[in-house]
Structure 1
Amino acid sequence: MSDSDCQRYYICINSRPRVLACGGDNAFDELTSTSEWPAYPCAYPMDAPCQGRGAPQPAQPTADCPHQYGFFQSPNADAMHCGSYRMCVEGKAIEMQCPPGLAFNSDNVRCDWPDLVPSCNAEQYLGFQCPPAPIDDDGNPMDVVNYAYKGNCYAFYSCEHGRPRFLTCDQGFAFDSVRGHCVNEKEVQCAVPLTQH
């Protein structure tokens, strides 16, 4: 295969090679050669960079998308609304939202903890500021402390080294604010009906 085109790849059919190419501005993902068949061989430009294997296809931007395919920061996102992002398919933008408690990180193109997203104000986004950490038996601040989420006993805040993160208990468990962790939901007096979590 030519080193000047990272969109093209070989597929062998009946022991004969056939040249195919990824569409749009997608690139061949070299990791699929070690994956189980039938792994899709093409990936978004940010997931299969062309460094060292030719020039990437030029971006084909549209009014709403910088590339035909991929995930991008939404213009609706700001430091207090960091969960918004765009998925571009054939140059058309679809507004998306990260799962509760996560923010879109344009550095790794994933939904991530808000405190790891430089453009996000985690405390404003989550609506929670970690209080000073309690002191453990050795006189050191505790690394991880959990706090109740008002209005829903199936969710809670976890402060890890003073950074707030929104979490939920597994199915069948609820947060016990006295013990500071999830327990069997039958052990917690919950104002939220079981069908709502």
Structure 2
Amino acid sequence: MGLLDKLRWSRKTTDISATDMVVFIVGPSGSGKSRFMDILLQNANVHAVRANKGQRPGTTEVYAERCRFEGMQSDIVLVDTPSFHTYEDPDGEETLKKWMDSKCTKCKRAGMLYTHNIASNPHDGNLVISRHLEAFRRTLPRNLTINTVHVVPTVAFGARLPAETIDALVTRLQGQADGVGAKMSKTPFDGKPETAWDVVQELLSRCGLLIGR
């Protein structure tokens, strides 16, 4: 193990430095945030520097994992954020802000993956992308601004939707993404590690970070 690796191992998983790239995974409850992160960590190109042990917290808490991506020198910190506008306590916005104030004071580079279940209720105002982005931005410390938002359409596990229905739902979601200046993945997340890897590469590329293949 080299010196750089030893330094990475000695650093706490959620201690974020100015050289780290942080990827926040944001979205409504049931949109597949935790599932996306878990499947991404299964990709052969992603190496957890020190895997968190114990039971995975629920959607009301913050879960962070320090990783090394093949082809990148800087560590990536994946952050599974609590859901906002869930009608239930505790408030996800307050929980995330406390975490930001504690862990993200030195954070300089970050992007957002926004997961959205395309089959969710289109009439529920609490599922609108803009509402969640507004809540998320209120949690950010003054030193950090998120300019890169990548929307990831998801389909609930086990759902069976005709291709034409999926196309229509993705088109509807594209309208919301356009409204907040976000880009969107071309196809819904299908639960495969290679798809999760491609989605993250798209985000990092938009952040000006290229991953070697």
**Greater strand share, 1 or 2?**
1
Q: Which has the larger radius of gyration?
A: 1
When normalised by structure 2's length, the TM-score is 0.23
**Which structure is higher in helix share?**
2
Output the TM-score relative to the length of structure 1. 0.24
The structure whose RCO (Cα within 8 Å, separation 6+) is larger is 2
